[in-house]
């Protein structure tokens, strides 16, 4: 640097002592003194550092770099989640139902449908008077020996006293024989749902019966069934891999943690498979003839509604456990 640059309005350059003081290296104001009170204190600290290095420790105490990456409590939580993933195979994975019509209970008779002349308050009393009046008229006709048509009157009387052939209809003869009283029953259709459940292990055992009907259906349904079988196998293999990662890895803490991070990432596979199955269900597929009509909840074809209605809570328990373990793999 030239003399002209040194005498610039910016001022002279700082020396090394000023640099040491103002950049942040100074511990005490002014000239720093000795770090130790005496020689004995210095020798004691040096011996302590040498002993720590001999054992392989670090000089800095309380440094976050030497903290344990995966604590025992975290390992315990992941172990419990792995066991839950395995035990979820004992829970219901698939649920279907059939609607069975219930026996129709006797319903109360509906209100009588009558002519406007009777559709008033006290219609039943009016009807009783009407029937009684007609009966008396017919009896008077029968009592007259010389009256023509006595046989016809007797038949009319019998018809008035007995209900008609059609259930719910009563005819009244006499002066107002053109009126009819119609009664009916309101029938309500009631059904009962009979549920059938299949566990994760039961799905493997039912490959001979249920599997034959599924694998003879549409291509999308076949692919979904294969992916669900792979999902079930992962619920067996991943817990074993997780336990090996948590308690079986050898080497230093850092090396074991890095290997554990690599293995725990495989717990995302069940989530990926389930998402693929849901996306495929939007395309849909047809059933084999043996499947159609077997269960009401299956409908006439495979779609996303049938899938979500069929999957039971055992699948979601295993998925939640795998997510719990996989998320911890991200944190390492």
| DSSP one-letter string for 88-150 | GGGSEEEEEEEEEEPPPPPPPBPPPB--TTT-STTHHHHHHHHHHHHHHHHHHHHH-TT-TTH
Q: Is the pLDDT of residue 231 over 80?
A: yes
Name the average pLDDT for the chain: 74
For residue 189, tell me if it sits in a domain.
Answer: no
Answer yes or no: is 215 within a domain: yes
Q: How many other C-beta atoms are found inside a 10 Å radius of the C-beta of residue 37?
A: 8
Domain of 149, in residue numbers: 123-182
Using one digit for the tens of pLDDT, what is the confidence trace for 53-106?
Answer: 777 656 566 566 666 778 888 899 999 999 999 999 999 999 988 888 776 444
Residues 175 and 130 in one domain: yes
Decide if pLDDT at 157 tops 60.
no
Judgement on whether residues 225 and 153 belong to the same structural domain of the protein: no
Clarify whether residues 286 and 207 are in a common domain.
yes
DSSP state of 66: G
Residues 218 and 80 in one domain: yes
Is there a single domain that holds both residue 175 and residue 277?
A: no
- Same structural domain, 60 and 75: no
In-domain check, residue 10? no
Residue 272 has pLDDT above 80, yes or no: yes
Environment class of residue 201 by beta-carbon count within 10 Å: exposed (0-12), middle (13-18) or buried (19+)?
A: middle
Give the strand pairing for 92-101 and 301-302: unpaired
Counting the structural domains of the chain, the total is 3
Shared-domain flag, residues 256 and 212 = yes
Question: Which residues contact residue 189 at a Cβ distance below 8 angstroms, ignoring those fewer than 6 apart?
Answer: 101, 104
Do 250 and 325 share a domain, yes or no?
yes
In angstroms, rounded to a whole number, what is the distance separating the alpha carbons of residues 292 and 255?
Answer: 55
Inside any domain, residue 110: no
The answer to whether residue 218 is domain-embedded is: yes
Q: Within this chain, do residues 224 and 300 fall inside the same structural domain, yes or no? A: yes
Residue range 103-114, pLDDT digits in tens: 644 444 444 444
In a domain, 134, yes or no: yes
Does residue 226 sit in the same domain as residue 239?
Answer: yes
Nearest to 130 by CA among 163, 169, 160: 160
- Report the pLDDT value the prediction gives residue 300, as an integer from 0 to 100: 83
89-103, 170-184, 188-202, 269-283: range with lowest mean pLDDT: 170-184
Given pLDDT bands bounded at 50, 70 and 90, which one contains residue 126? very low
Strands 169-171 and 180-182, how do they pair?
antiparallel
Q: Are residues 161 and 215 in the same domain?
A: no
The helices-and-strands tally (H runs, E runs) of the chain is 13, 6
**Cβ distance 173 to 138 under 8 Å?**
yes
């Amino acid at each position: 640097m030239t003399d002209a640059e040194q005498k610039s309005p910016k001022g002279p350059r700082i020396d090394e002592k000023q640099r040491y003081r103002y950049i942040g290296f100074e511990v005490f104001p002014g000239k720093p003194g000795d770090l130790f009170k005496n020689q004995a204190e210095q020798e004691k600290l040096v011996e302590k550092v040498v002993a720590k290095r001999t054992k392989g420790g670090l000089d800095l105490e309380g440094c976050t770099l030497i903290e344990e990456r995966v604590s025992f409590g975290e390992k315990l939580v992941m172990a419990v989640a792995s066991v839950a993933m395995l035990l979820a195979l004992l829970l219901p994975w698939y649920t279907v139902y059939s609607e069975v019509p219930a026996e129709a209970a006797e319903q109360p008779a509906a209100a009588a449908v009558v002519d406007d002349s009777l559709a008033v308050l006290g219609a039943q009393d009016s009807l009783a008077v009407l029937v009684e009046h007609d009966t008396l008229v017919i009896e008077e006709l029968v009592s007259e020996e010389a009256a023509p048509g006595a046989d016809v009157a007797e038949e009319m009387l019998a018809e008035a006293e007995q209900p008609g052939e059609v259930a719910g209809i009563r005819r009244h003869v006499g002066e107002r024989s053109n009126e009819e009283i119609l009664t009916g029953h309101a029938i309500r259709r009631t059904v009962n749902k009979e549920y059938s459940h299949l566990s994760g292990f039961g799905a493997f055992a039912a490959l001979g019966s249920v599997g034959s009907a599924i694998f003879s259906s549409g291509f999308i349904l076949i692919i979904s069934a294969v992916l669900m079988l792979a999902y079930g196998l992962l619920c067996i293999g991943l817990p074993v891999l997780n336990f090996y990662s948590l308690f079986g890895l050898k080497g230093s803490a850092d090396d074991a943690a890095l290997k554990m991070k690599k293995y725990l990432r495989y717990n995302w596979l069940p989530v990926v498979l389930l998402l693929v199955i849901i996306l495929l269900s939007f395309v849909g597929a047809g059933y084999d003839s043996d499947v159609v009509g077997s269960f009401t909840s299956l409908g006439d074809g495979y779609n996303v509604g049938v899938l979500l209605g069929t999957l039971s809570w055992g699948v979601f328990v295993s998925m939640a456990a795998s997510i719990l373990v996989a998320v911890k793999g991200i944190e390492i």
